[in-house]
């Protein structure tokens, strides 16, 4: 039977690396992004070299109505979801005392509420099968406060709470729940920073960790994956 992974924000960075890993292992892909050209390029690249299908939809998940539209798109594509990865996120640096007005609301909508609403919408496609795996993309900023984290850290701490609650609710339902907590990973958001590549993790390493957690037997779940650059946090 075909397997499906749903991952938000799949055209860049960690999301893209996870998609490539699961595609190599025969999963059909369902993903979204705000940019149609990037989605179409991803679809063409994967389907050209893998015997799987990629389903894409343009969506801005900072808006609840578009989260629900994406959920309906997913349910119209498959009746069974094997893996759900809430990966969409945005980072705006700043301190609580002086960051721009609206930072908290915008990042809460994108980083937390999108995961909350999408998970609630898609759980009916997972629970009847007593099987599946949900991953939440958190951050080191969700377990360690730092001065320029501001509202971003608040949203990632909240994401940790969401994921822990979900784990407790679903442990008897056969659905695994894992929080991914990566440190600085070299993606487009770090381009132009005057730091050597050695100070960053590879997005592919995060993807490998996600795959390893997924590939365990049904009797075991990795509740948290904490990854940091070998030389420490930036």
Complete domains list, the chain, with CATH: 3-227 (3.40.50.720)
pLDDT along the chain (234 residues), means of 10: 94 96 97 96 94 97 98 97 96 90 95 98 96 96 89 96 98 97 83 81 96 98 96 88
DSSP annotation string for 52-102: S-EEEEE--TTSHHHHHHHHHHHHHH-S--SEEEE---------TTTSPTT
**Look-up of token digits 């990566």:** 182
Burial 133-160 (b: 16+ CB within 10 A, else e): bbbbbbbbbbeeeeeebbbbbbbbbbbb
Which amino acids are annotated catalytic? 152
Q: How far apart are CA 66 and CA 73, in angstroms?
A: 10
pLDDT of residue 189: 67
pTM greater than 0.85: yes
Our separate counts of H helices and E strands in the chain read 7, 7
**Residue of 164, 176, 233 whose CA lies nearest to 199:** 233
């Amino acid at each position: 039977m075909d397997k499906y992974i749903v991952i938000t924000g799949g055209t860049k960075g960690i999301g893209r690396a996870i998609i490539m890993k699961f595609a190599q292992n025969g999963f059909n892909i369902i993903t979204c992004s705000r940019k149609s050209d990037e989605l179409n390029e991803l679809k063409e690249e994967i389907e050209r070299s893998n015997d799987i299908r990629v389903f894409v939809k343009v969506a801005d998940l900072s808006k609840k109505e578009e989260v629900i539209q994406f959920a309906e798109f997913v349910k119209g594509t498959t009746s069974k979801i094997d893996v759900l990865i809430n990966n969409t996120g945005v980072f705006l640096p700043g301190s609580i005392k002086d960051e721009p007005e609206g930072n908290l609301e915008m990042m809460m909508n994108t980083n937390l509420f999108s995961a909350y609403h999408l998970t609630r919408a898609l759980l009916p496609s997972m629970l009847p099968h007593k099987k599946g795996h949900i991953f939440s993309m958190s951050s080191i900023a969700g377990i360690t406060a730092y001065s320029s984290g501001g509202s971003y850290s608040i949203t990632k701490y909240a994401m940790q709470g969401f994921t822990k609650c979900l784990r407790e609710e679903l442990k008897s339902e056969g659905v695994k729940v894992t929080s991914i907590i990566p440190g600085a990973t070299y993606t487009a958001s770090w381009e132009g920073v005057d730091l050597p590549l050695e100070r960053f993790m590879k997005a592919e390493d995060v993807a490998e960790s996600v795959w390893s957690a997924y590939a365990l037997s049904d009797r075991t779940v990795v509740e948290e994956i904490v990854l940091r650059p070998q030389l420490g946090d930036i």
